[in-house]
Structure 1
Amino acid sequence: MVIRTLLALDGALVRGALSLVLAAEEDIHVVAEVGRGDAVDQAVDARRPDVAVVDLDLIAGGTATAGRCPLLVLADRRHARGLRGLLTPGRTVGILGTEVPPQRVVDGIRRLARREAVVDADLVMAALATDNPLTDRETEVLRLTAEGAPVDEVAGSLRLSSGTVRNHLRRIARKTGARTRVEAVRVARDSGWI
């Protein structure tokens, strides 16, 4: 049996490279390649693939494709929460990280075609996590920062050095994916952490 495969990946270089890898496999045939999310459903309808390998960023806005063919979703750990909408009963969805070797994608396509599970446990845990990633101290630092307190005032209130407060703010920025303190505050408020 030849597995008809659709590639819906952002970036012509990545899409082309994976297409070449798959072309070397006797039992996998790439029937279409798309680089835009709005073209995924149309390509599935037109080409009727057995499996679609999709970039989470392309389908983050939602797609009906998951109901029409199994999806092998490639996701970056930083954006894993976007997987939540795909993890619903009745959908055949496999999940792999974007950093996996090409052979894992090849194996994932074969397994999904047989309706077997394909799961990157770390990504699924990241997608389902709702807990605050900030420590109690980081939460305190961010709460005071959100109230407009400068670093020295936060340090005095929490009996820390200014350098320690700056270190906390750097870790907070990394954990929230923020580039600025204001953005970190917004992310934490939107997530209900402060």
Structure 2
Amino acid sequence: MTATALPIPGTFGPDVLRHLDAQLESARRLLQAVLHQSQAIRARNVDGVLAHLGTIQAEMERRSLLERDRTLVLTRAGQALGVPAHAVTLEAMTALMDPATAEAARTRSTELRGLLAEVGQQHHLNRALMRQELAFLGHLVGMLGGAGEDGGYRPPAEPGGSMRVTLGGVGATGYQTARRVLDLEV
């Protein structure tokens, strides 16, 4: 960035603020969806969990459109600054805005980072809750299908690990048999 960067004539600053406002609205909707999904998980409301998952997926699709807009804003700023779009930072962009707009952009950006961090933390918690619920379900299914024999309740050893629940029993040959009833990647 050059030390003599001047504000871009026209609507650049307001366009950046509009984009950040759209990002904030999207992040708030996403946060509400993951919080409601958490409530549904805790209530063991499968339909609610799935409904909120649909809401989250729809919001993520909307966010992909916002990413396209973000790329356009960064490209425009990069051209004005003489750097590639991927190298543009918010601080560099603020050099292209009047001081009041630059401060508003910084404030919105800070709020957006906080919201997205909260969404990420809640999503991580939701995944852990789901792993716990599925492991408990596996324990129950194992008890029912294994004539009361089960190795105990065990959540997956690590995040992102797989969980396999089987129903088993003693077959006609006298050997333990197993049928796969639930295979999930978490």
TM-score where L is the length of structure 2: 0.26
Bigger radius of gyration among the two: 2
Query: Higher helix fraction: Structure 1 or Structure 2?
Result: 2
Larger relative contact order (CA 8 Å, sep ≥ 6): 2
